[in-house]
Structure 1
Amino acid sequence: MTAGAAGETGEGGAAGGAVLPHSHLDLRYSEPDVDATEWSEARELLAEAELYWLTTVRPDGRPHVTPLLAVWRDERPYFCTGPEERKARNLAREPRCALTTGRNSLGPGLDVVLEGTAERVRDTAELEALAAAWVAKYGPDWRFTVRDGMFWHGGGDGGSAEVYTVVPDRVFGFGKRPYSQTRWTFRPRWPVGLGGTGAF
């Protein structure tokens, strides 16, 4: 890992050939002499956290925030929601969203905000693997049956849930005691004309 000007950090390949995101330590919001948080630390938090908060956008532009469960697989978070729930309806209209997790304390620790674009998961094999991941992480109370491109509760007799992944654009890590702000960029953010400037 090499450091560049103004806190920029370039990261190469990881063990096993995984491509790491480009990282940037924002010196304006970081204590002197602090290092950028390693992506591996943020990734571990995203994978192991039990509770997350999903932020979506209502039709009138107001934010909608709700707590939910999620699993981390293939370098992405996955979550599920009933098709009639507000967050599902928001995502059908505007898939850009944010997923947040961390510690409910001043520190020490790390808070993470992942910004990206939600995509529906419909492939049966992938859903079966995700259903197994839910049980492995949260236990048998969160066992789903896969049918018709969705999760189903109660062995298939309960309600249905759509499954989504969030393709990350960038992730923010807020380190506490010592305080730091690290940004990991996966790809350019929103193109010009889609509510953004095209800048990172």
Structure 2
Amino acid sequence: MPTTEPVTELDTRYSEPGAAPAAWGEARETLAGAEVFWLTTVRPDGRPHVTPLLSVLLDDVPVFTTGARERKARNLAANPRVVLTTGTNALSHGLDITVEGTARRVQDQAALTRIAEAYTEKYGSDWTFTARDGALHHADGGAALAFEVAPDTAFGFRKGAYSQTRWRFRAR
């Protein structure tokens, strides 16, 4: 995500009276700390495809991986628009985050090495990758493509004291 702060807006239609917008810093912490995310892509025929996955935040940019033959990768080849979502299943507390944007494949060796390190640091040794040939390779022989999500808009849904925050990003 851009290193500059996004424009923050509170949507009063979906917020309790007196609610304040969530700070982008809190959203960033939520994205960095979340373990499970939901990725929505669009199939070539226009139907949505939603799947859980792991993601890391690298330089304020959400990054996820997928196998080259998986439905996600095939969908992204036809349409790179995505929604990445995380949060809690609780109704009384928490901040759910939705990031709408464009998935861009990462192939740079130095960037892939950093992504591999971030996955191991966040998820442990079961998620150790070696970066080479434009992909991340697991010890079991599997390979994954890495994608960063360049955001257009993100939403924060605060629960308990309900509020909805919108963050608008400038083009990178």
**Could you say which TM-score interval applies, normalised by the shorter chain?**
over 0.9
How far, CA to CA, are the matches of 1:123 and 1:107 in structure 2? 42
Alignment equivalent of 1:60, drawn from 45, 48, 58: 45
Determine which structure has more spread, i.e. the larger CA radius of gyration.
Answer: 1
Contact 1:170/1:187 (8 A) holds in 2: no
How far, CA to CA, are the matches of 1:146 and 1:96 in structure 2? 25
**SS class of match (2:84):** strand
Deviation at residue 87 of structure 1 after TM alignment: 0.4
2:62 is matched with which residue?
Answer: 77
Coordinate RMSD, CA, aligned: 1.0
2:149 is matched with which residue?
Answer: 166
**SS class of match (2:170):** coil
Structure 2 portions without partners, runs of 5+? none
Matches within 5 A, 1:156-195: 158-187=141-170
Deviation at residue 132 of structure 1 after TM alignment: 0.6
How far, CA to CA, are the matches of 1:79 and 1:25 in structure 2? 28
* Deviation string, structure 1 residues 34-61 (Cα, Å, up to 9, x no partner): 1011111111001110000000001111
What code does the residue aligned with 2:154 have? V
1:87 is matched with which residue?
Answer: 72
* Deviation string, structure 1 residues 70-117 (Cα, Å, up to 9, x no partner): 100111100110000000000010000000000011021111100000
Deviation at residue 160 of structure 1 after TM alignment: 1.1
Matches within 5 A, 1:1-200: 18-154=3-139, 158-187=141-170
Q: Which has the higher strand share?
A: 2
Between the two structures, name the one with larger relative contact order (CA 8 Å, sep ≥ 6): 2
How many residue pairs match? The answer is 169
How far, CA to CA, are the matches of 2:121 and 2:98 in structure 1? 24
Runs of 4+ aligned residues of structure 1 deviating over 6 Å after TM superposition are none
Structure 1 portions without partners, runs of 5+? 1-17, 189-200
* Deviation string, structure 1 residues 12-48 (Cα, Å, up to 9, x no partner): xxxxxx4100011001010000101111111100111
TM-score normalized by the length of structure 1: 0.83
Contact 1:117/1:167 (8 A) holds in 2: yes
Contact 1:53/1:100 (8 A) holds in 2: yes
